[in-house]
Amino acid sequence: MKNAEKKQQKIFSSEKEFRRISSKFSEEGRIILHLGDSCGFLKTITSGIINLVVTSPPYNIGKEYETRNMIDKYLEQQEKVIEELIRVLDINGSICWQVGNYIENGEVFPLDVYYYGIFKKFGLKLRNRIIWHFGHGLHAKKRFSGRYETLLWLTKSDKYKFNLDEVRVPAKYPGKRHYKGEKRGQLSGNPLGKNPTDYWEFVVQDWDNGVWNIPNVKSNHPEKTIHPCQFPVELVERCVLAFTDEGDWVLDPYCGVGSSLIAGLMYNRRVIGCDKESRYIEISKERLRDYFNGVLKTRPLGKPVYKPSGREKISQMPIEWKSKDDY
């Protein structure tokens, strides 16, 4: 087949895929993207069908898409959503709940601590409290600047999926050998790499920070949209690979611009997303169309986070701050 024909066929099949997006849940569906309130939408999903819930809920911090409430009221509302999520979750399924802090009058309320209590009340079991570290963000004046958020990985039962081999990362010392005992001299690692641990370093929305303007770092963020708190797709990719198999259902009840759906589709999972903001749903559709057409830019899973070498002009002490002794 000639190249142009091949390309056309790809676009045709991509459009066909794109047209399979439905706004209503159906057990036969593959991509469901719903505009509306998540609590109401979840009621339309069959019980026990979802293999992975992966999401970042609103933090109640007054972002453009939320109204700030007292923390108790906010958690009360979230509890209703969580109850529905647990109902739709498969007995072997997982929930990945990614949150940061809620701040009131300068006091920090670590949201994962509050959420843990809710999940525990419903009988879920915590498997990891993952630290998601990122290098840049707002600079605090009256406390240390926050540079991590957490992701609670919880399961509905003790029989849960965990595909560690799918998410191993290159070992630092693959040539390391046992130095004593029966295995002396044998390689001690795993040829597939090492466990990625519960400390994840994925690039966050550096594009939010005007202060961070090293051009080649910015160009490391090909996923930017207008959403103020977008997931890096690679963060969801790791969850999808570790906690689900091909054909499984991945659900994000607060899907924003569709990052979780993209990560699920990349590995042939069935995906469901819901968001109450039409502008984000429209961007999700655009991103899905780009994905099917092979033009969506995402940061590849496992690509090392850029670290300045110290030789860049921006990494050097500005002349105004140097003392005479430095000359």
Ligand X SMILES: C[S@@+](CC[C@H](N)C(=O)[O-])C[C@H]1O[C@@H](n2cnc3c(N)ncnc32)[C@H](O)[C@@H]1O
| Structural contact between residues 126 and 116, judged by C-beta atoms closer than 8 angstroms | yes
CB 29 within 8 A of CB 270: yes
**Contact of 57 with 96, CB cutoff 8 Å:** no
Which of these segments, 147-155, 158-166, 210-218, 254-262, binds ligand X (CB under 6 A)? 254-262
| Minimum CB–partner distance for residue 111 and ligand X (Å) | 11
Any contact of residue 17 with ligand X (CB under 6 A)?
no
- Restricted to residues 277-316, the positions that interact with ligand X (CB under 6 A) are 277, 280
Could you tell me if 111 and 56 are in contact, meaning their C-beta atoms sit under 8 angstroms apart? no
- Min. distance of Cβ 30 from ligand X in angstroms? 20
241 lies in the binding site for ligand X (CB under 6 A)? no
Nearest CA to 227 out of 155, 281, 169 is that of 281
Q: Which is nearer to ligand X, 217 or 233 (CB)?
A: 233
Distance of closest approach, residue 227 Cβ to ligand X, in angstroms: 5
For residue 58, state whether it binds ligand X (rule: CB under 6 A). yes
Shortest Å, Cβ 237 to ligand X: 12
Q: Is residue 60 a contact residue for ligand X (CB under 6 A)?
A: no
Closer CB to ligand X, 194 or 200, in the complex: 200
- Closest to ligand X by CB, 69 or 128: 69
Cβ-based neighbours of 249, under 8 Å, separated by 6 or more: 49, 50, 51, 52, 269, 270, 271, 272
Q: Are 223 and 230 in contact (CB under 8 A)?
A: yes
DSSP 197-255: -SEEE----GGG-TT---HHHHTT-TT--S-TTPPPHHHHHHHHHHH--TT-EEEETT-
Q: Interface with ligand X by CB under 6 A: which range of 139-147, 269-277, 300-308, 318-326?
A: 269-277
Tell me which stretch binds ligand X (CB under 6 A): 2-10, 164-172, 243-251, 275-283. 275-283
Of 189 and 200, CB closest to ligand X: 200
Would residue 33 be called left, alpha or beta, if left means φ above 0 and alpha means ψ between -120 and 50 degrees?
beta
Torsion of CA 268, 272, 275, 277, to 10 degrees: 60
Q: What is the DSSP string of 88-124?
A: HEEEEEEEEEEE-EEEETTEEEEHHHHHHHHHHHTT-
Among 156, 227, 269, 299, binds ligand X (CB under 6 A): 227
Q: At its nearest, how many Å lie between ligand X and the CB of residue 41?
A: 8
Build a one-symbol-per-residue string for 79-118: x at contacts with ligand X by CB under 6 A, - elsewhere. Answer: ----------------------------------------
Q: Does 274 bind ligand X (CB under 6 A)?
A: yes
Nearest alpha carbon to residue 296 among 266, 275, 272 = 266
Fill in the per-residue mask, 153 to 192: x = in contact with ligand X (CB under 6 A), - = not in contact. ----------------------------------------
| 257 lies in the binding site for ligand X (CB under 6 A) | yes
SS3 51: strand
Distance of alpha carbon 156 from its chain centroid, rounded? 20
CB of 152 to ligand X, least distance (A): 15
**What is the C-alpha to C-alpha distance for residues 166 and 268, in angstroms, rounded to an integer?**
14
Q: Which of 56, 78, 94, 155 binds ligand X (CB under 6 A)?
A: 56
* Amino acid (one-letter) located at 276: K
Q: Which residues bind ligand X (CB under 6 A)?
A: 37-38, 56, 58, 65-66, 227, 229-231, 254-257, 259, 274-277, 280
